[in-house]
Amino acid sequence: MCTRYLFLIIIYLTFFSAYKGVADPYTIYEKEDFSPASDDPWKGHPIKTLSPAFKKQLYEANKTDYLNEDEFDESINMNTQMSAEKHKIKKMGNFIFRTTLRIGSGEEGSVYLAQHIPSGVYAAIKMTTFYGEAENDPEYLALKNLERLYGCYVENTLMSLCMPLVTGRSVVPYQSPYASQERIKTLLGVTLTEEKEITYDNWDLNVHLMQTYLDEFEYCSCKGACSDGAPQNILLTEDSQIVFVDQKACRPTPPEARKMHESLCFFHYFLGLTPFRKKEGKRFELREDIKFPPPVREFNKIVVNAMNALEPIYTLAQIKETFSKFKIDMESYFLGLSHSQIQLGSDSTPSISSSSCSSSS
């Protein structure tokens, strides 16, 4: 009798563990409509066709896994019957992806190109380890708050987060000292002349980029999503939008209450060159060897002062005001008005205006 029970227990355990091993990933969440939130400044609409530039970037990152570009091109459409052995397809809910199409990776996980089977919509899928309840995972919550979560699946200790695909690249290559002058010129319209003078061929683009950065920062702050500010997590899309990835849930705060002097410094990625350098003792100083237009120079002073301050003092409201003033001063500069009219850099601290987060956030 006892042996029979033991036998049944063994059979049960064998089947149960075998079943666990092949179980489909468990779907925590899947979005039905991929359109962005109405207040999302990025407006990352679902993508069904990849641009040649993005495909090239993806190919460069993954070419060791492909015989040639044709084979790679074929693998991009995951709804086809392409060799499943060589370019293994994985399935998460209604999404499929190949581990041979990696978009990026970081300390927490890898991100792959994915495709929603019924619609053909492309996405990015991040595989990461999670602890505790998946529904309480800070990254899951941040994406959900932002309405940028397409799907969430768990399998053992692995969590897969499916999100809108950001076609572009991180801002790392635009940072000095890695920045290529050619790239900066093409993308940002900023030139460093042989006389070490900074000129702007496309100032409007610079302004636009700073604005999209501020809009993204404000949206994420209001929705309770926090970024660590690392340039790897700040993406510049092909149509010149700034999008933050790798965010974690935090308490939604009015952006005025968020300290953001790092973000103020970030403006300088768009100005093409880091205008300050770190001195011993961790203080920053302005570069004297480069001639910036006077309003930029004044703006740089504010940044350096903020960076050297023990307690960062800038809030989004202050930065918006500083930025508005800076834009006006640059317009005057371009109009060739006398420098004496340029007021930027005065000692007065901009006043704080009221919160722009809606109460629902």
Ligand X SMILES: Nc1ncnc2c1ncn2[C@@H]1O[C@H](COP(=O)(O)OP(=O)(O)O)[C@@H](O)[C@H]1O
| Helical ranges in the chain per DSSP H | 2-22, 52-62, 69-76, 138-145, 181-188, 203-222, 261-270, 294-308, 316-334
Q: Which does 146 bind (CB under 5 to 8 A by kind): ligand X, Mg ion, none?
A: none
SS (H, E, C) 329-341: HHHHHHCCCCHHH
Residues of this chain that interact with Mg ion (CB under 5 A) are 106, 233, 246
Q: Which is nearer to Mg ion, 106 or 173 (CB)?
A: 106
Q: Which does 143 bind (CB under 5 to 8 A by kind): Mg ion, ligand X, none?
A: none
Instruction: Select the span of 30-38, 159-167, 215-223, 331-339 touching ligand X (CB under 6 A).
Output: 159-167
Considering only residues 228 to 267 of the shown chain, the ones binding ligand X according to CB under 6 A are: 232-233, 245-246
Considering only residues 307 to 326 of the shown chain, the ones binding ligand X according to CB under 6 A are: none
Check residue 58 for interaction with ligand X (CB under 6 A). Answer: no
Q: Give the separation between CA 163 and CA 147, rounded to whole angstroms.
A: 9
Minimum Å gap between C-beta 214 and ligand X is 20
Q: Give the separation between CA 77 and CA 98, rounded to whole angstroms.
A: 10
Considering only residues 88 to 147 of the shown chain, the ones binding ligand X according to CB under 6 A are: 103-109, 111, 124, 126
Check residue 214 for interaction with ligand X (CB under 6 A). Answer: no
Q: List CB contacts of 60: < 8 A, sequence separation 6 or more.
A: none
How many residues form the binding site for ligand X (CB under 6 A)?
18
Check residue 165 for interaction with ligand X (CB under 6 A). Answer: yes
Minimum Å gap between C-beta 130 and ligand X is 12
Minimum Å gap between C-beta 226 and Mg ion is 13
Q: Which is nearer to ligand X, 57 or 253 (CB)?
A: 57
Minimum Å gap between C-beta 170 and Mg ion is 9
Residue 202, exposed/middle/buried by CB under 10 A (0-12, 13-18, 19+)? middle
Tell me the two tokens of residue 242.
């700034």
Question: Is residue 235 within 8 Å of 166, Cβ to Cβ?
Answer: yes
Q: Which does 149 bind (CB under 5 to 8 A by kind): ligand X, Mg ion, none?
A: none
Q: What is the DSSP string of 220-283?
A: HHHTTEE----GGGEEEETTS-EEE-S-EE-----GGGSB-HHHHHHHHHHTSS--EEEPGGG-
Check residue 44 for interaction with ligand X (CB under 6 A). Answer: no
Q: Which does 192 bind (CB under 5 to 8 A by kind): Mg ion, ligand X, none?
A: none
Alpha-carbon distances of 350 from 173, 222, 328, 346, 347, rounded to whole Å: 32, 21, 15, 10, 9
Instruction: Select the span of 83-91, 161-169, 313-321, 326-334 touching ligand X (CB under 6 A).
Output: 161-169
Q: Which is nearer to ligand X, 99 or 308 (CB)?
A: 99
Q: Which is nearer to ligand X, 37 or 257 (CB)?
A: 37
Taking CB atoms, the residue at the shortest distance from ligand X is 106
Instruction: Select the span of 48-56, 162-170, 299-307, 351-359 touching ligand X (CB under 6 A).
Output: 162-170
Q: Which is nearer to ligand X, 168 or 293 (CB)?
A: 168
Tell me the two tokens of residue 263.
């973000």
Minimum Å gap between C-beta 168 and ligand X is 8
Minimum Å gap between C-beta 232 and Mg ion is 5
Q: 101-110, long-range: CB within 8 Å, 24+ apart, which pairs?
A: 101/58, 101/62, 101/75, 101/76, 102/61, 102/62, 103/58, 103/61, 103/165, 104/61, 104/170, 104/232, 106/232, 106/233, 106/246, 108/246
Residue ranges in contact with ligand X by CB under 6 A: 103-109, 111, 124, 126, 163, 165-166, 170, 232-233, 245-246
